[in-house]
Structure 1
């Protein structure tokens, strides 16, 4: 687990995440109005849209660009976000429970209390920005890259992470309780602070420096008292 360039707990290299490469077609400006539950949004550009409190449960967004949108308390549970670029999103309490994000780029988001529990994230890049209290309980993440962002108390309890990377990220108060990790690369995180679930790090790879930083957490998990 500690700084093995040859892989997470065994021979061979850690499998790298396959990064999303989204190429949007020419987009048509969204003319406004309210989102609709189960709505179908294809090839649209949402620029500076205020989606605060709107109801879009089960909606589908495909080949869309969402730029500088407000999503406070927006209800987007079970939404499908496919081949989209989300830039400069702002909001608190956005509900994306059980949503699917596939081939998505999220850039410079400023979000808090996002509910993504039970969601499916595949080939997703989250670049820059800050997300507080991200709820990913029992979510499935495959080929996901958190790149240079700040995650404050992200909740991965019961989640399944496969080929997930955190280069340049600040991770504070991570909860890994009951999580399953496969080819998760934490070595390049700028800061790694695990609050709960350190025993679930099997299947991840960390650096020697991170191992030393986490030593007190490992000792506490094992019931070892360190003195002197």
Structure 2
């Protein structure tokens, strides 16, 4: 499907399981007392446990395979940081910023990403489980062939996100903006789109099976659905 479907909805939040939608399980991150990071850059396969990175410049840092457990990254620069196959567990990333951060094949479990300002983040082939992305703006997010389970996008702006061939299970988009989203060949199960403030689908509208949308979104998506099955609508 090469056309574009755009719809907006500012209705109240969905009620969750009682109306047939299985809600995502949100992360419950409780950080222990942390040790301030006083090093420079990152180490490949580095092991960071209970560390706070406060305003650390990690631009172009090379830490493929690094593990971050019970960590906080606050106000860090992540431009072109190489974090391929990195693992983030029980961690919080607040106000991180950067362009071209490479997290291909990374694993995020019980992670909160708050007020991030990122562009061109590579998360293709990544695994996200119990992840909350709240606030901020992420441009050109690459989640191709990623696996998302119990993930919530809340109050954030996702500009041209690529979910191509990804698997989404119990994923909620809450009061956020999706601009020119690519859902090509995506697989969805219990995906809640009802409270998306702006739903703009560039590709893959035919792959919304397994998603829940609002009545107003259905009306606005109707022309795209009709075009997908070859129905002409004329007065």
- TM band (smaller chain): over 0.9
Distance change (3 Å), C-alpha of 1:121 and 1:226: same
Q: Report Cα offsets for 1:61-82 as digits up to 9, x if no partner.
A: 0000000000000000100000
Pairwise mapping of residues 100-119 of structure 1 onto structure 2 (< 5 A)? 100-119=107-126
The answer to whether 1:158 aligns with 2:165 is: yes
TM-score normalised by structure 1 residue count: 0.94
Count how many residue pairs are aligned between Structure 1 and Structure 2. Answer: 222
Q: How far did 1:41 drift?
A: 0.4
The answer to whether 1:26 aligns with 2:33 is: yes
CA distance in 2, matches of 1:108, 1:32: 25
CA distance in 1, matches of 2:16, 2:206: 18
Q: 1:206 corresponds to which residue?
A: 213
CA distance in 1, matches of 2:24, 2:86: 24
Runs of 4+ in 1 over 3 A off after TM superposition: 5-8
| 1:184 and 1:204 in contact (8 A); partners too | yes
TM-score normalised by structure 2 residue count: 0.91
| 2:164 and 2:185 in contact (8 A); partners too | yes
The answer to whether 1:140 aligns with 2:147 is: yes
| 2:16 and 2:23 in contact (8 A); partners too | no
Q: Report Cα offsets for 1:191-214 as digits up to 9, x if no partner.
A: 111111111101110001111111
CA distance in 1, matches of 2:47, 2:164: 32
CA distance in 2, matches of 1:34, 1:102: 23
Higher relative contact order (CA 8 A, sep 6+): 2
CA distance in 1, matches of 2:121, 2:15: 35
Match of 1:98 among 80, 89, 105: 105
| 1:113 and 1:132 in contact (8 A); partners too | yes
Q: Report Cα offsets for 1:176-198 as digits up to 9, x if no partner.
A: 11110000000011111111111
CA distance in 2, matches of 1:104, 1:47: 17
The answer to whether 1:217 aligns with 2:224 is: yes
In structure 1, the gaps of 5 or more residues are none
Q: 2:128 corresponds to which residue?
A: 121
In structure 2, the gaps of 5 or more residues are 1-13
